[in-house]
Amino acid sequence: MDITIPILILAIPLFMFIFLGLLGGKMSHKLAGTLGTLGMGVTLVLAYTTAFTYFFSGSADFITAGGDRLQYLVFNQTWLAFTKSLVIKLGFLLDPISAMMLVVITTISFMVHLYSLGYMRDHHGVYERGFQRFYAFLSLFSFSMLGLVVATNIFQMYIFWELVGASSYLLIGFYYIKPSAVSASKKAFIVTRFADLGFLIGILVLSFYTGTFDFTQLTSVPVEGLNDVYRVSEGTAEGILNIFQTSAAPVFMGGSVLTWALVLIFMGGMGKSAMLPLHIWLPDAMEGPTPVSALIHAATMVVAGVYLVARLFPLYLMEETALEIITVVGALTAFYAAMVACTQVDIKRVLAFSTISQIAFMMVSLGVARPEIHEGLGYMASMFHLFTHAMFKALLFLGAGALIHAIGSNDYTAMHGLRKYMPITHWTFLIGCLAIAGIIPFSGFFSKDEILSACVGYDWVAYAWMSMVAGLTAFYMFRLYYLIFWWKEHKIPEGHHAPHDQPWTMSLPLIILAAISCVAGFIPFGKLVSWNGEPYDFMAHFDWSVAGVSLTVAVLAIALATVMYRKENNLPEKFKAAVPALWRWCYHRFYWDELYMFITHKIIFNGICRPIAWFDRHIIDGTMDSFATITNKASELIRPLQSGQIQFYVWIYLIGALLLGTITAICLI
């Protein structure tokens, strides 16, 4: 395959970042926005070409005669060669999931670029301050995310992993004069950095024992069912196998090297994907502009953790414990986030918690994936859900952005009854809600159903738990939908004109994403993406009972939401009064933020940082300061001797000469 197109996919966004970043201020808002969007459009076309070539060209590079998909290194260039064994490469890896991610990222990114042309200006058409900077950062993010998914080795992934973190930081803090946005951006950066510490240690442990960074080598482990066709590494897998299967491998605190490495790497994924103990940054990240939330904090960056686990999936298969940890963390997070989403007032917060919950679905799906359970259905389901979720969640976020843009508030209390005023937003939002709730022809139904099927094969507890969360998902999404668009008649504040639908730059992405959400479920995803490259026939494993149950649960949840929230009534208040403690805990997000505040401020700051600061200030600085003070005092003391008065010098000289003369005389006598 020609390497021009893959290089251009990465080079265009990077160029747009540098170009708009340096020269954006010199050009008009409109030109900068148009250039950024055009650049992303070209990237979109190139990425689609690449993915299409990979999936459908039938070239022997990409697919075997038997129909098994191969990993393909477009290029893999040595970048830093420290020693013979420690070599860091940069490259472009094409395989089913990276090709799928190319499509997802460029689609959402292009939609967001287009949407922002309308969103980032007020009702009088005046562009927001820093509009060019916004587009430069969007391009930087797109570049980083594309670099992340095509990484050929875990170190390249780590580099781009940090770059997406940095661009996320820049975009959350886009309104840098707003203190809440600044603290949210810092929070996001610090929490994910903390998680990345684990990721880095995991990388170091893993590559220390395996002697390689390359994904193709790392994942070419002999797992049952993983055919030779999926292994394209230049080296052999025997070394890796020896380390992990001989008893000589060191054991630390009851876990083998592999367990520790994989759990630590998953910790990085937990940070980026907002899994339970490290989820606190994502709701606050909603302080950023809404298109940014759609692109980074719903569709692409936050699924990087899922992608990471999927990328190393054959390794995870060798270590049951790590997969079980992933399942448990994912299941708890999914339930927690769904509960919290039922009580939030800020519509972006509801969507943020819904994102956490849905990513947890993907994690659970990976955690329960086993080759022996429906031939690794969980892996495929996770990737499928990643794809469909990116589309419908971006749609919901962009819809929320349109509402916020029209109303000027994030709270549904200021909205209510908007369905007549904003028909396009209403219908597209409804499609998004139906998709996430899992109603039949929409994309969410198919992907969620596959996840639940995978859970059934694993354990009925997991299945029941995830079905309950799926019901909660349908409930809180329709609660949000009804509270925004129904509940009661919209009251237009005095001096305001009626809210109305947005300009075409904002409507078009909504319509396109809604259309994708309608049809994406019918993509034969298993044929394209599966854990070992073999085409996978989902219909052979389709279980009508699972689908029927999930559909029933969703419909019941929607019906409940309809009863409670369609027309203004006192049922929600009654419900709140019935379980006050539960409601309060959910509303306050189970006090996780307060817990973090307590741990960081009371324990870490007071107990650890303050003594260290005291030691630094008084002992270390004190020693250094006393050197300076003593020198200073001494010089003050002897300074009068250098008076500049000749007479004084003569006087000293005279005394000295007389003394010397006397001493000489005494000695001579």
Partner 1 sequence: MEITAIYYLIPSLIMFCCGVYGFITRKNMIAMLISLELMLNAVDVNFVVFNRFLFPGQMEGMFFTLFAIAIAAAETALAIAIIINIFRSTKNVDVSGLNEMKF
Give contact residues for partner 1 (rule: CB under 8 A): 644-647, 650-651, 654
Taking the C-alpha atoms of residue 538 and residue 543, their distance in angstroms, rounded to an integer, is 10
Name which of 559 and 652 has its Cβ closer to partner 1. Answer: 652
Name which of 603 and 655 has its Cβ closer to partner 1. Answer: 655
The least CB distance from residue 667 to partner 1, in Å, is 24
Structure tokens at 513: 């994403």
Name which of 177 and 646 has its Cβ closer to partner 1. Answer: 646
Burial string for 157-179 (b: 16+ CB within 10 Å, else e) reads bbbbbbbbbbbbbbbbbbbeeee
Name which of 23 and 650 has its Cβ closer to partner 1. Answer: 650
Name which of 52 and 653 has its Cβ closer to partner 1. Answer: 653
Name which of 11 and 654 has its Cβ closer to partner 1. Answer: 654
Name which of 85 and 642 has its Cβ closer to partner 1. Answer: 642
DSSP-assigned states of every residue in 300-344: SGGGHHHHHHHHTHHHHHT-HHHHHHHHHHHHHHHHHHHHHHTT-
The least CB distance from residue 199 to partner 1, in Å, is 59
* Cβ contacts of 44 within 8 Å, gap of 6 or more: 106, 107, 109, 110
The least CB distance from residue 647 to partner 1, in Å, is 5
The least CB distance from residue 668 to partner 1, in Å, is 21
Structure tokens at 384: 């499928």
Name which of 246 and 635 has its Cβ closer to partner 1. Answer: 635
The least CB distance from residue 633 to partner 1, in Å, is 19
CB 466 within 8 A of CB 454: no
The least CB distance from residue 603 to partner 1, in Å, is 53
Taking the C-alpha atoms of residue 378 and residue 526, their distance in angstroms, rounded to an integer, is 11
Question: In the beta sheet, which residues pair with residue 520?
Answer: none
Burial string for 21-51 (b: 16+ CB within 10 Å, else e) reads beebeeeebeebbebbbebbbbbbebbeebb
Instruction: Scan for tokens 């996840």, then name that residue.
Output: 451
The least CB distance from residue 120 to partner 1, in Å, is 59
Query: DSSP class of residue 126?
Result: P
**In this structure, what are the phi and psi dihedrals at residue 237, rounded to the nearest 5 degrees?**
-90, -5
Instruction: Scan for tokens 């200073």, then name that residue.
Output: 632
The least CB distance from residue 644 to partner 1, in Å, is 5
DSSP-assigned states of every residue in 412-474: GGG-SS-TTT-HHHHHHHHHHHHHHHT-TTSHHHHHHHHHHHHHHHH-HHHHHHHHHHHHHHH
**∠ Cα 514 516 522 (to 5°):** 130
Structure tokens at 536: 């996978």
Name which of 461 and 659 has its Cβ closer to partner 1. Answer: 659
The least CB distance from residue 643 to partner 1, in Å, is 8
